[in-house]
Amino acid sequence: MTDRYVVIGHPVAHSQSPRIHAMFAAQTGQDIAYDKLLAPVDGFKDAVRQFVSGGGRGANVTLPFKLEAYELADTLSERARYARAANTLSFAGGQIAADNTDGVGLVQDIETNLEFRLKARDVLLMGAGGAARGVLLPLLQAGPATLVIANRTVEKAVQLVESIQHGATGRVRVSACGFDQLPGQQFDVVVNATSSSLSDALPPLPDDLFAPGALAYDMMYGKGLTSFLAFAEARNVERLADGLGMLVEQAAESFRIWRGVRPETRPVMRALRKG
């Protein structure tokens, strides 16, 4: 029988996941069906249980259900425990296993697709919400020299830094600050994990934020430059990237978890860029 998978969200109509996983399946010869599942805002757990009872094998989870997916799981990967959220669920033997592939998707896109090594770099992570928490552990494991978390509400950034488990930072110097404390600091990599691009807004950033040869990375994606990437381009940053590569790479990691094979991502990214 064809194995069934879904992406669960609210809303979910915009999701590219079915198209991505269909390309992965065709590429790897896997017999799967992948659909969208719109769950009521207050009905995520029931939607999951109904899907599992119908023979579902796994699910990707998008907003606003990643925390509920984490709470629903019987077993958690280290990445899910660290993020306190899950975007990948696997169903087998009456158990729900949860993982979070967002961070590995980000790091894979930066280091492999963009060929920009994070080791020994100075990294700024903008935002202290779920998106930032979801990528924090893989970013630390990539071994930057420093990681600064900046947020409008400084207390949230401080809390995120304080939540980092002992030993997870390795030799990385991690700190928190508000955006008003960024003047005078420069970074090799600036990752926008805020929701500002959704409203075409921008956190208050200094003009000298980017070190020479820096990478500006926005976890959001869409047609044209986000407000953050336009800000970086106007300050002569040549290396710009949106979150489409992260989207495909986190999906590839989910596919690997489910099917035991990691698909090639570049052809899929090219297809999505074409529309």
**Annotated active-site positions, please?**
66
Contact 84, 39 (CB under 8 A): no
Q: Which two tokens stand for residue 233?
A: 């381009």
Determine if the peptide bond prior to 18 is cis (ω within 30°): no
Contact 119, 142 (CB under 8 A): yes
Longest dimension (CA), the chain: 60
Q: How far apart are CA 153 and CA 85, in angstroms?
A: 21
Q: How far apart are CA 275 and CA 236, in angstroms?
A: 28
Task: Provide CB contacts within 8 A for 14, sequence distance 6+.
Answer: none
Q: How far apart are CA 230 and CA 215, in angstroms?
A: 13
Q: Which helix (H) or strand (E) holds 215?
A: strand 210-218
Q: Which two tokens stand for residue 50?
A: 């109904």
Q: What is the DSSP string of 143-202?
A: --SEEEEEESSHHHHHHHHHTSPTTTTTT-EEEEEEGGG-TT--EEEEEE-SSGGGGT--
